[in-house]
Amino acid sequence: MKELSLNILDITENSVKAGATLTEISLCENEDTMVLTITDNGSGMTEEILKGVADPFYTTRTTRKVGLGIPLLKLACEQTGGSLEISSKHIEKFPDNHGTKVSATFYKNHIDCVPLGDVVETVKTLIQGHPDTDFKFSHKTENGEVALDTRELRQMLEDVPLNTYEVIKWIEEYLREQYLEIQKA
Amino acid sequence: MKSLAELQAIKDKMKNKVILREGTNDIRVVVGMATCGIAAGARPVLNALVEEVNALGLMDTVTVSQTGCIGICEYEPVVEVFEAGKEKVTYVKVDVEKAKKIASEHLKGGNVVAEYTIKA
């Protein structure tokens, strides 16, 4: 993957596929580190599946026997000296509070840290492809925060779908404007 | 600064259109967005298709959607075009420029861009 924002897109697709109605993507930066956390309320994984997810030869796809989503994210953070943690509560054991949390820590100043890239494009793409599920995005830096919650948008838009072209464009501008603000600060 | 209140205006504008649009989309464009597709550059391809469909005024006839792994990872980014009564067209190794051409020649003009298909 050329940018971390593409890993974020890829991993979040797993949340949607697991039936999540809400997926939270959080980026939290300080001087040395960036912590990416993707938390969903999807069906979760059994302990057995959880043990195998970092193995490239484990995948949920049916068209191929290789799954590289989690292994690529693990590689991206570990090559900076960081680490990946996944915890999950499977729906069968936790019928009321199931879901998965993926957390990756990156050391930003390490020479092998892949650039974050265009997160706005990732958020746009997720909403375009999955207008009926909710996403909460937050990027905290030392200069301020960029945030978006599709539940708030949905409330304003009522039955207008979130993947309407005008709405997607509004989301893009809304996020880009917030990024400009924190870059100025 | 942009505010959530602006969505109110979009909602009012779209309300009438939504009723008109229902059931009129007869071409479905699907972009593979699994790990393989994303790594090969599917994100800009998808966004180019969304932009072009809007720019060419095809919103009422064309829907752009996403899917998982199509099974031919080495040919990603893959774009499939489904049209009622016609054979599915599979475009392979698509980039932004090819996506624009597919939008204008195939989605708007009705002519398959044969050189970009998997059969070429």
pLDDT tens-digit profile of A70-79?
999 999 999 9
pLDDT at A85: 95
Could you give the CA distance from residue B14 to residue B18 in angstroms, rounded to a whole number?
6
Cβ distance of B5 and A124 shorter than 8 Å: no
Fold of A4-184: Heat Shock Protein 90 (3.30.565)
Q: Where are the domains of chain A?
A: 4-184
B25-36 pLDDT per residue, tens: 689 999 999 999
- For residue B44, give Cα distances in angstroms to A41, A42, A122, B89: 28, 27, 10, 20
Chain A residues in contact with B8 by the CB 8 A cut-off are 156
For this complex, say whether ipTM is above 0.85. Answer: yes
Q: Which two tokens stand for residue A7?
A: 């890993």
CB B69 within 8 A of CB B37: yes
Q: One digit per residue, pLDDT tens: chain A, 185 residues?
A: 999 999 999 999 999 999 999 999 999 999 999 999 999 999 999 988 888 887 777 777 665 556 789 999 999 999 999 999 999 999 999 999 999 999 999 999 999 999 999 999 999 999 999 999 999 999 999 999 999 999 999 999 998 999 999 999 999 999 999 999 999 87
Could you give the CA distance from residue B93 to residue B37 in angstroms, rounded to a whole number?
10
Structural domains present in chain B:
25-116 (3.40.30.10)
The band of B119, judged by pLDDT with boundaries at 50, 70 and 90, is confident
Mutant choice from A62, A75, A157, A181 vs B, greatest count of B C-beta within 10 A: A157
CB B66 within 8 A of CB B33: yes
